[in-house]
Amino acid sequence: MRCLLTSKHLMIFLQRAQTSFDFTRGKMLFFLHLLMVVSLGPNLAASAGDSQFSYSGFAGSNLTVDGTATITSDGLLQLTNGTAYLKGHAFHPAPLLLRNSTNGTVQSFSVTFIFGIVSVYPDFSAHGMTFFIAPGKEFAGALPAKYLGLTNVQNNGNASNHLFAVELDTIQSVEFKDINNNHVGIDINGLHSMQSYNAGYYDDKSGEFQNLKLISRQAMQVWVDYSGEKKQISVTLAPLRITRPVRPLLSTIYDLSTVLTDQVYLGFSSATGRVNSRHCILGWSFGLNSPAPAIDIAKLPKLPRAGPKPRSKVLDIVLPIVSATFVLCLGSIVVLLVRRRFRYAELREDWEVGFGPHRFSYKDLYRATDGFKDKHLLGEGGFGRVYKGVLRTSMLEVAVKRVSHESRQGMKEFVAEIASIGRIRHRNLVQLLGYCRRKGELLLVYDYMPNGSLDKYLHNNNDADTSKLSWAQRLHIIKGVASGLLYLHERWEQVVVHRDVKASNVLLDRDMNGQLGDFGLARLYDHGAASQTTHVVGTMGYLSPELMRTGKASPLTDVFAFGIFLLELTCGQKPIKENVDGGGHVVLVDWVLQHWRNGSLMETVDARLHGEYSVQEAGLVLKLGLLCSHPFAGARPGMGQVMRYLDGVTPLPDELMAPTDLSFHVLEMMQNIEFNMSTISYADLLTSFGTISDLSGGR
Ligand SMILES: Nc1ncnc2c1ncn2[C@@H]1O[C@H](COP(=O)(O)OP(=O)(O)O)[C@@H](O)[C@H]1O
Ligand SMILES: *[C@@H]1O[C@H](CO)[C@@H](O)[C@H](O)[C@H]1NC(C)=O
Ligand SMILES: *[C@@H]1O[C@H](CO)[C@@H](O)[C@H](O)[C@H]1NC(C)=O
Ligand SMILES: *[C@@H]1O[C@H](CO)[C@@H](O)[C@H](O)[C@H]1NC(C)=O
Ligand SMILES: *[C@@H]1O[C@H](CO)[C@@H](O)[C@H](O)[C@H]1NC(C)=O
Ligand SMILES: *[C@@H]1O[C@H](CO)[C@@H](O)[C@H](O)[C@H]1NC(C)=O
């Protein structure tokens, strides 16, 4: 609705801007004309001994006008001004004596004038105009419309009117026996023409009659001649600039001596009816006993355009500017709104209402991260980019993870889980503060961890970073992560499987406490996956055999990954790394097992510790790492048990204290697996571990 209104306003403004432009042009022409008039002096040479006068335009003239008649600033005599049911008159100011005072007859005279009828509608106009000779200037009693401002109901046709007129009638009035709505007529004392004919002229060459349309908005010229000798009245009409046709349009014998008074006034009358038209005279001349002087066509004013009336000049200038500004403002606002709409667009659905407190608005996140600028990028992980941000309202430092997620499938369940996970609070779990959903994208808001992720300290070949991580710190981080994982598995109201335990998912807070991040995220990609699907979520090297085989995650698959993490942190090496000599890969578990069997377990401890560690503690962590990453899920301890081993509450099982037969047996089998990244096949793994499982089943 609001939109509709504005577009309508816009259209009106555009229309106005258009018409005001037209007017500006008209005004300019007028000023040009005025300049000409001023430089040439008054363009009238009227009343040469009262026997002739001539007006080429009426600027500065002394015409007597009444009613709607005005002389416009550019010299146009406008008899009607575009208002309906009104009349107007204009007179040559001085009376004339057409009669010979000796014998009382009207002498020959000749009148010519140029007129134009500008009607609002191209095919309809009202009512018409006349040139007349009358005894006086008083026409107050005359009626508009069909009376053309000349007579009224009472006096029409009365001989006491002493009126002679030539009518240019554009309405057919049955009452006056008009022939049509486009005719010229000779009127004596009233509007019932004594002779009339279609507007037009006889072509000099062909002699054919050419029709003219009085309301064509074109200027036309009329000649009215009276011969005192022949008592002949003739009226000729022609388009402007055509030389006067020889054959008149109307010609009749009538002695005007019986009509006119001694002293007469020459003038024009016009009237509008229902339709508002403008009847204009551009030039006029008269000659007594002589032809009417020629009218200087070059000096004539222009006919007005068929359009609205002129406005003040200020408005002409201001309005286009104002409307242009308005359009510009409107445009910018629309652009801004649309941009804002797209920039901050997010997805919200009914089912999310319950998760209200966990929902962030995209606008807040956008502002917190300065529009996700690259300088706020913390890192890019498997799920998407992570940005640092500061929430404007709380000044809380957050990490915003943008996860692209095309399908809506599973989103509802996932968000529900996020909402529930959001309630998990543990000092070793990165706090999930909330989320925001957009089209194809999910934004997760976490507590900001100033010291970044653990893998940066382990695997960046930057000694400054590595040296920060003492053995005590490593053990502290291990215990922290273990307690976080234990909380997820056993202490929280429901069992939460992390699915992606690894060094790069362990973040370090200000005090170098290890905090496990990203929990539950893997579920987004796992959701709806049937058990037989081969799509495995997690990270290569941390995947337990049974997870690779079945794709089903469980707390024990987390324990497997945790075991690898223990080895990774103690040895300072990646779970699978390229062999330095080239050729193949070194699998960390195998390597540690090998050393253990050879009795050189301590040689696997990170050399960057420079021997500054407790042999007992490092041995415990390494052995626990092996136990946790045991290929048989059943042989792995639960996280509760892991905690007890770490705290020294329970000693490690005997077979791990020394490489026993069974351990060797397991090691042997693991060595048999060709764990070569380039050639590894799922089928290989399946059969190999299948054998192990069978064995374990028989145990
Ligand atoms: N809460 C956080 N605080 C500080 N930095 C973080 C946070 N979460 C992630 N990061 C940074 O963003 C990087 C990418 O994170 P993430 O997407 O979790 O990696 P991955 O998918 O590899 O686990 C991390 O290496 C870490 O540097
Ligand atoms: C206009 O009329 C006045 C008196 O009515 C006269 O003095 C003046 O000369 C006239 N001007 C023209 C241009 O006819
Ligand atoms: C036309 O003239 C009449 C009378 O002088 C006036 O009331 C009316 O407002 C005028 N109309 C226009 C459009 O100027
Ligand atoms: C008027 O008529 C008389 C005689 O008919 C003639 O002599 C005289 O010149 C005429 N006057 C004019 C002004 O034409
Ligand atoms: C009156 O005078 C005019 C000349 O001015 C002449 O042509 C005409 O015939 C005269 N009429 C009469 C009735 O004398
Ligand atoms: C004509 O007008 C005169 C004067 O106004 C009046 O006395 C007379 O009755 C009118 N004649 C007719 C036929 O109306």
Whether the Cβ atoms of residue 100 and residue 107 lie closer than 8 Å to each other:
yes
- pLDDT at 442 > cutoff 80: yes
Q: Is the CB of 289 under 6 A from ligand 4?
A: no
Average pLDDT of span 68-80: 90
Where does the pLDDT of residue 201 fall: very low under 50, low under 70, confident under 90, or very high at 90 and above? very high
More confident residue, 452 or 464: 452
Lowest-confidence segment of 15-19, 208-212, 494-498, 499-503 by average pLDDT: 15-19
Q: What are phi and psi of 11, to 5 degrees?
A: -65, -45
| pLDDT above 90: percentage of residues in the chain | 30
Q: Which tens digits make up the pLDDT trace of 92-123?
A: 998 998 888 788 889 999 999 999 998 877 77
Annotated binding residues for ATP, as ranges? 401
- Ligand located closest to 106 CA: 5
The highest-confidence range among 109-113, 490-494, 530-534, by mean pLDDT, is 109-113
Average pLDDT of span 371-392: 87
- pLDDT at 432 > cutoff 90: no
Average pLDDT of span 410-428: 75
Helix (H, G, I), strand (E, B) or coil at 691: helix
pTM: 0.48
Task: Say how many Å lie between the CA of residue 262 and the centre of ligand 5.
Answer: 15
SS3 content of the chain, % helix, strand, coil (to 5): 35, 20, 40
Task: Say how many Å lie between the CA of residue 190 and the centre of ligand 6.
Answer: 13
Q: Is the CB of 100 under 6 A from ligand 5?
A: yes
- pLDDT at 538 > cutoff 50: yes
Q: Is the CB of 158 under 6 A from ligand 6?
A: yes
- pLDDT at 376 > cutoff 70: yes
More confident residue, 661 or 205: 205
Candidate list 74, 169, 225, 500, residue with the active-site label: 500
Look at ligand 3, atom 6, and give the residue with the nearest C-alpha: 68
- pLDDT at 168 > cutoff 70: yes
Q: Which tens digits make up the pLDDT trace of 233-265?
A: 999 999 988 889 999 999 999 999 999 888 899
Q: Among the atoms of ligand 6, which is closest to the Cα of residue 154? A: 14
Q: Which tens digits make up the pLDDT trace of 121-159?
A: 777 778 899 999 999 988 888 887 888 888 888 888 888
Reading the block at residue 140, the tokens are: 């107050």
Task: Say how many Å lie between the CA of residue 156 and the centre of ligand 6.
Answer: 10
Q: What are phi and psi of 138, to 5 degrees?
A: -90, 110
More confident residue, 592 or 463: 592
Q: Which residues line the pocket of ligand 2, CB cutoff 6 A?
A: 46, 62, 93
Task: Say how many Å lie between the CA of residue 110 and the centre of ligand 2.
Answer: 23
- pLDDT at 471 > cutoff 80: yes
Paired with 129 in beta bridges are: 168, 270
Q: Is the CB of 102 under 6 A from ligand 4?
A: yes
More confident residue, 654 or 641: 641
Q: Among the atoms of ligand 5, which is closest to the Cα of residue 107? A: 5
Look at ligand 1, atom 12, and give the residue with the nearest C-alpha: 379
State residue 635's pLDDT score: 85
State residue 9's pLDDT score: 41
Please name the residue that has the structure tokens 């960046």.
460
Q: Residues in the chain, how many?
A: 699
- Ligand located closest to 404 CA: 1
Task: Say how many Å lie between the CA of residue 75 and the centre of ligand 2.
Answer: 16
Look at ligand 1, atom 9, and give the residue with the nearest C-alpha: 386
More confident residue, 685 or 171: 171
Average pLDDT of span 29-39: 38
Where does the pLDDT of residue 14 fall: very low under 50, low under 70, confident under 90, or very high at 90 and above? very low
Q: Is the CB of 160 under 6 A from ligand 6?
A: yes
Task: Say how many Å lie between the CA of residue 69 and the centre of ligand 3.
Answer: 9
Domain boundaries, the chain: 7-47, 52-296, 350-447, 455-695
Angle at 433 between CA 430 and CA 437, to 5 degrees: 120
User: For 350-447, CATH number?
Assistant: 3.30.200.20
- Ligand located closest to 69 CA: 3
Q: What are phi and psi of 681, to 5 degrees?
A: -125, 150
Look at ligand 1, atom 5, and give the residue with the nearest C-alpha: 452
The verdict on whether 455 is a catalytic residue reads no
Where does the pLDDT of residue 524 fall: very low under 50, low under 70, confident under 90, or very high at 90 and above? low
Residue 465 CB partners (closer than 8 Å, separation 6+)? 456, 457
The fold of the 52-296 domain, in CATH, is: Jelly Rolls (2.60.120)
Q: Is the CB of 382 under 6 A from ligand 1?
A: yes
* CATH superfamily of this structure's domain 455-695: Transferase(Phosphotransferase) domain 1 (1.10.510.10)
- pLDDT at 408 > cutoff 80: no
Task: Say how many Å lie between the CA of residue 258 and the centre of ligand 4.
Answer: 18
CA distances from 235 to 1, 77, 211, 221, 344 (A): 61, 22, 15, 11, 79
Q: Among the atoms of ligand 4, which is closest to the Cα of residue 101? A: 1
Annotated binding residues, as ranges? 401
Where does the pLDDT of residue 577 fall: very low under 50, low under 70, confident under 90, or very high at 90 and above? confident
Average pLDDT of span 198-213: 91
Q: Is the CB of 229 under 6 A from ligand 5?
A: yes
Residue 607 CB partners (closer than 8 Å, separation 6+)? 572
Please report the DSSP string for 474-527 in residue order: HHHHHHHHHHHHHIIIIISSS----S--SGGGEEE-TT--EEE--TTTHHHHHT
Look at ligand 5, atom 1, and give the residue with the nearest C-alpha: 103
Where does the pLDDT of residue 28 fall: very low under 50, low under 70, confident under 90, or very high at 90 and above? very low
- pLDDT at 298 > cutoff 50: yes
Q: Among the atoms of ligand 1, which is closest to the Cα of residue 505? A: 23
State residue 125's pLDDT score: 79
- Ligand located closest to 93 CA: 2
Helix (H, G, I), strand (E, B) or coil at 142: coil
| pLDDT above 70: percentage of residues in the chain | 77
Half-sphere exposure of 616 (CA within 13 A, CB side): 5
- Dist. CA 653–CA 507, nearest whole Å: 31
Where does the pLDDT of residue 620 fall: very low under 50, low under 70, confident under 90, or very high at 90 and above? very high
- Dist. CA 281–CA 277, nearest whole Å: 13
**Mean pLDDT taken over the chain:** 79
